[in-house]
Amino acid sequence: MASTLYYKAVASIAAYFTTVLSALFVCIYRTRLTASNAFYILIATASLFTTWYYILSWFHVEYVALGSNLDRFILESDLFVKAYALVTDNLSKWWWSSQLLIGTGTLLTFWSVEGQSLRLEVEEHNHQNRTKNNFKKRTWTPTWWFVLLGFFGSMSVGGPLFLAQLDNQDRQQQQQQQQQRSSNNSIKRTTTTCHARSVPGWLVLTILLGEISVLLTPFFATTDKRFTINLMLTHAFFLIPALFSFDPRLTRGGWSGRMTLPRLYILLALIALVSQFAYTLPFLTFGNNVRFSNIFESLLHYSGLRDSSSSHLHAQPALSVKDLYWALWDNHCQTSISADLVFNNLLAAIVMVRTSASMGKAAVGWILTAWMPLLSVSTVLPLFLAWKERQDTVGSPATVKTLNAAAKAGIHLDQNKEQRHMD
In a domain, 179, yes or no: no
Cα–Cα dist 140/123, whole Å: 9
In a domain, 412, yes or no: no
Full residue range of the structural domain in which residue 83 is found: 2-128+137-168+194-407
In a domain, 249, yes or no: yes
Over residues 295-300, mean pLDDT: 52
Longest dimension (CA), the chain: 82
What is the pLDDT of the chain when averaged over all its residues?
81
Helix/strand/coil for 284: coil
In a domain, 421, yes or no: no
Over residues 176-180, mean pLDDT: 53
Yes or no: say if 120 and 249 are a contact pair by the CB < 8 Å rule. yes
- pLDDT tens readout for residues 215-240: 999 888 888 899 999 999 999 999 99
- List the single range of 26-35, 53-62, 305-314 with lowest mean pLDDT: 305-314
Q: What is the pLDDT of residue 251?
A: 77
Cα–Cα dist 27/110, whole Å: 17
CA nearest neighbour of 204 among 265, 156, 151:
265
**Long-range contacts of the stretch 18-23 (C-beta < 8 A, 24+):** 19/148, 19/152, 20/148, 20/149, 20/152, 20/153, 22/148, 23/145, 23/146, 23/148, 23/149, 23/152, 23/153, 23/158
In a domain, 417, yes or no: no
Comparison of pLDDT for 394 and 314, the residue scoring more = 394
Comparison of pLDDT for 333 and 299, the residue scoring more = 333
Residue 415 has pLDDT above 60, yes or no: no
Over residues 276-294, mean pLDDT: 63
In a domain, 416, yes or no: no
Number of domains in the chain: 1
Q: What's the whole-model pTM score?
A: 0.82
Report the phi/psi class of residue 257: left, alpha or beta, with left for phi > 0 and alpha for psi in -120 to 50.
left
In a domain, 310, yes or no: yes
In a domain, 393, yes or no: yes
Q: What is the pLDDT of residue 268?
A: 97
